[in-house]
Structure formats: C-alpha cells, structure tokens
Amino acid sequence: MLADITFFGKAMSLRNAQLEVLTSNLANASTPDYKAKNLNFRAAFAAALQKPGNGVGNTLRYTQYERGSPVGLNGNSVSPQQAMMQLTRTALASEADEEFASGAIQSMTNAINTSSVY
C-alpha cells in the first residue's frame, strides 16, 4: 500500500513539472523565436519509478522541443490553442492521480483504524 502512495506521489510531482513546462509555453506564446516544449511524461515516470524514495530526479533531461509544431513568422512555435488543450489534458490526468492516491490513503487509514491490537 505504501508503494501505491509513492507511485502516485511521483506521478503527481511529474504532472506538476509538466504543467510548469506547458504554462511556460503559454506565457511565451508571443515571444519571438520561442520554441514549444513538453515533458516526456512516460520516460520521466519510468525513470522515477527506478529511483528509491519519493523523488523524481531532474526532469530537464525529459523536457523536449515539440516536433511538428508550425513556426510563425517571428520564429515562435507555440500554438495557444494547442497549449491550452495540453494544459487541460494534463490537469485532468493530475486530478485523476489525486483521486486514486486519495483512495489509497483512505484505504490505509481505514485498515489502521479497524485493526485491533492484542
């Protein structure tokens, strides 16, 4: 059960890191020569699961420039609409992670409260 909490803790930490990257894209949507980035969540999560403890390590190595994004006349590759869709998708995934983690914690709490010590 404790492994479940660590699992979801790492997932939530990485979702937050992904949200930071995506909000940076949105904030720089009109910055000349800014290139859209994203966190490779799957690769970062796989690496985080190999690490002991609750940490996820440095996520910069999993942050990549988005490929296939059209570049505007000012050299910027951020599509505000695409960034908002990615933010929404990531926020929903984060909310689902939180719900699952909450359920795991509640199950542990119930097990502790209903157990009897002889």
Q: Enter the tokens of residue 93.
A: 């995934």
What's phi and psi for 103, nearest 5 deg?
-65, -40
Amino acid at 89: R
| Assigned token pair, 112 | 């502790």
Q: How much is the average pLDDT of 43-67?
A: 87
pLDDT value for 115: 66
pLDDT of residue 114: 81
Question: How far apart, in Å, are the Cα atoms of 42 and each of 12, 62, 106, 114?
Answer: 13, 9, 27, 37
pLDDT digits (tens, 9 = 90+) for 100-112: 777 777 877 888 8
| Residue tagged 């599509």 (tokens) | 79
Tell me what pLDDT residue 55 has.
75
Identify any residues that bridge with 65 across adjacent strands, giving them in sequence order.
Answer: 37
- CB-based contact 71:29 (threshold 8 Å): no
Q: How far is CA 22 from CA 13, 30, 87, 89, 113, in A?
A: 14, 14, 6, 11, 41
Q: What's this model's pTM, rounded to 2 decimal places? A: 0.79
